[in-house]
Structure 1
């Protein structure tokens, strides 16, 4: 029995958005940010973070295949099965957490912590 196309698309959509939510939550937790974002803003930032995480994972795959095959091809077709999705998904979630962590470190380093004391005000 096969899933209808709409159900498969909904599953893929959820699977693709979860890494972004992990990145945003990691960023707000590590950066110690107290954010009052609307649901729209959370969804938008999660969508952007998912794109970043998926892109980083894809380019890591391109780098890996370049090293293993000795041929650099920037655009590779990905015809993956459910088993491969289940295998690679934890790697994608790890990449999402790393993206959120690095983003938090860059954010706090460049802009400071907006919820904590400013460095110039601390004596």
Structure 2
């Protein structure tokens, strides 16, 4: 069976790891109804952050599930995903990315609302 060159495999993994962050970013912008223009650098940076959060949430869910299954709660577990396992797990990663985007949108909308609402003046009139 023919193997992909290492550079092609690394490129595929890089793209697959960046897409969840971009999905999180776009979900947050759409769900929060934000009118922002991000530069390419900002999009890339927030996509990396979103991917890191999405991958971390999925990994810790896996580690917790394995801990429940085996009775040994180990924080760092080795994961060696082949192509078939990656294809099966990737939709779950994208679903986690959408949830991360929705949570971020809700948090940003809440903070925007908290900062825009007028605060009552509690000072006594002199």
Same fold (TM over 0.5): yes
Task: From the CA coordinates, give the structure whose radius of gyration is larger.
Answer: 2
Q: Does structure 2 conserve the Cα–Cα contact (< 8 Å) formed by 1:33 and 1:113?
A: no
Q: Does structure 2 conserve the Cα–Cα contact (< 8 Å) formed by 1:57 and 1:92?
A: yes
Residue 100 of structure 2: aligned partner: 99
Q: Does structure 2 conserve the Cα–Cα contact (< 8 Å) formed by 1:20 and 1:46?
A: yes
Could you say if the C-alpha distance between residues 2 and 35 of structure 1 is closer, same or farther in structure 2, counting changes exceeding 3 Å?
Answer: same
> Number of matched residues?
117
Structure 1, unmatched stretches of 5+, are none
Residue 60 of structure 2: aligned partner: 59
Q: TM-score, normalised by structure 1?
A: 0.91
1:21-49 deviation per Cα after TM superposition (whole angstroms, max 9, x unaligned): 00000000011001111111101100110
Could you say if the C-alpha distance between residues 59 and 12 of structure 1 is closer, same or farther in structure 2, counting changes exceeding 3 Å?
Answer: same
Residue 8 of structure 1: aligned partner: 9
Deviation of 1:119 after TM superposition, in Å, equals 4.0
The CA RMSD over aligned residues, in Å, is: 1.4
Q: TM-score, normalised by structure 2?
A: 0.89
Q: Distance in 1 between matches of 2:114 and 2:28?
A: 12
Q: Distance in 2 between matches of 1:12 and 1:69?
A: 29
Residue 70 of structure 2: aligned partner: 69
Q: Distance in 1 between matches of 2:113 and 2:82?
A: 44
